[in-house]
Amino acid sequence: MAVRVQEEDFDIGRELAALTAGNHAIGGLGVFVGLVRDIAGGQSVSAMSLEHYPGMTERQLEEIEREAHARWPLDASLIIHRVGDLAPGDNIVLVACASAHRQAALDATGFLIDWLKTRAPFWKREDTPDGARWVDAREADDTAAARWG
């Protein structure tokens, strides 16, 4: 299990290789990569800034990750979430789960990203032509997370 909150970008291939290195019992990886879009809510977005509460954020992500390991037979998992100033096309988040079987890896990855979106203490601000705006919680994210109970 691994959780990182960081400003610097990450190399997806390198991170996945490290996650599975030497473990030949892994039969599948579930992977989600979140990227900064250049449009949201019908407006163009020139930049995004992500803030967090250091210490509390990592603890919450670790708790969510432990829950995934309790629900599915995972060999490994990884959550990397960036903070700071980001531009359209930049990586925001990498969630990966490794298991002997694909369905456990895919389900756990879906669970982690859904719960991360609704339970992790991150605050996003988007820069638009009308000025900066804070991103509110979305009902669709709550609905997605609710399917996991």
pLDDT at 136 over 90: no
Query: How confident is the model over 12-57, as pLDDT tens digits?
Result: 999 999 999 999 999 999 999 999 999 988 889 999 999 999 999 9
pLDDT at 8 over 90: yes
Domains in the chain: boundaries: 2-128
The CATH H-level superfamily of 2-128 is Molybdopterin biosynthesis MoaE subunit (3.90.1170.40)
Q: What angle do CA 101, 146, 93 make, to 5 degrees?
A: 60
Of the ranges 73-82, 116-125, 140-149, the best mean pLDDT one: 73-82
pLDDT score of 140: 87
Q: Who's near 104: CB < 8 A, 6+ residues apart? A: 28, 72, 73, 74, 97
pLDDT cut 70: percent of the chain above it: 100
